[in-house]
Amino acid sequence: MNYVRSVLPLDFQSVPPDERPKTRAELIKEELADAIARGAIAPGVALDEVGLARRFGVSRTPIREAIRQLEAIGFAEARPRRGAVVAHFTQDRLNEMFAVMAELEALCSHWSALSMPAAEKAALRSLHEDCGAMAQSGQLDGYMELNFAFHEAIYRGSQNSYLAELTLGVRQRLAPFRRAQFLGFDRLKLSVIEHGRVVEAIERGDGPGAAEEMRRHLRIVRESVDEVKR
């Protein structure tokens, strides 16, 4: 089985002690999900536990957990007594998922523009500037981490915990595709520009404007995913 070569570190020595390190299963799940999103592992390919354990140099226990996590986000499908296979994402399915994501994030942006406290708006601006610095220096991993924090700040800023929880759940299902977009041409810097328009609308209290800028951003993300997979 020709799985994508492991590129993620499977030791946690460099992780700051005040941050919870990801488990081996989580790291393996992320790498497999990213490979599926890029098309490096094709739909229908069997996720063979023995082969994956050998590939990652681990026992079958974290492999089973990683596959279970892939099933939970819809990236793998369990087959009775035959193991799991990579799920097939049609263009229509991805369009539907991104359409829902765009509307949820647009609603969060709209309500954040109307309800986010001044201190949170200042923190959002700071996150945006930090994202810009990461993009300028080409630090992909750092940017992706801050990018997640940026969007999550907007979810919380809506002042509606149920909406924030729902939006975060959908985002987690699409996270591998959203990471894959950054393999496209100059997406880091362009993403910062798109974020900036959302921030400006939120800062001036323009709910409809913030919603439309977020929708535009997610449409571009969706298009970028297709470009990466070509």
Mean pLDDT of 170-194: 83
CATH at residue 37: 1.10.10.10
153 and 122 in a common domain: yes
Asked, for residue 114, whether it belongs to a domain, the answer is yes
128 contacts 196 by C-beta, under 8 angstroms: yes
125 and 81 in a common domain: no
**Residue 7: what pLDDT?**
34
- Spatial neighbors of 5 by CB under 8 A, at least 6 apart, are 55
CATH at residue 175: 1.20.120.530
72 and 148 in a common domain: no
pTM for the whole structure: 0.76
Q: Domain of 77?
A: 24-86
Q: How far apart are CA 109 and CA 183, in angstroms?
A: 26
Work out the pLDDT band at 172, boundaries 50, 70, 90. confident
218 and 148 in a common domain: yes
159 and 63 in a common domain: no
Q: How far apart are CA 228 and CA 45, in angstroms?
A: 20
Q: With a cut of 90, say whether residue 133 has pLDDT above it.
A: yes
Alpha helices in the chain (DSSP H): 24-38, 49-56, 60-72, 91-115, 118-136, 140-157, 161-180, 187-203, 207-229
118 and 58 in a common domain: no
Which sign does the torsion angle of CA 155, 160, 161, 164 carry? negative
165 and 82 in a common domain: no
168 and 188 in a common domain: yes
- Spatial neighbors of 222 by CB under 8 A, at least 6 apart, are 94, 95, 98, 102
**Residue 229: what pLDDT?**
59
109 and 77 in a common domain: no
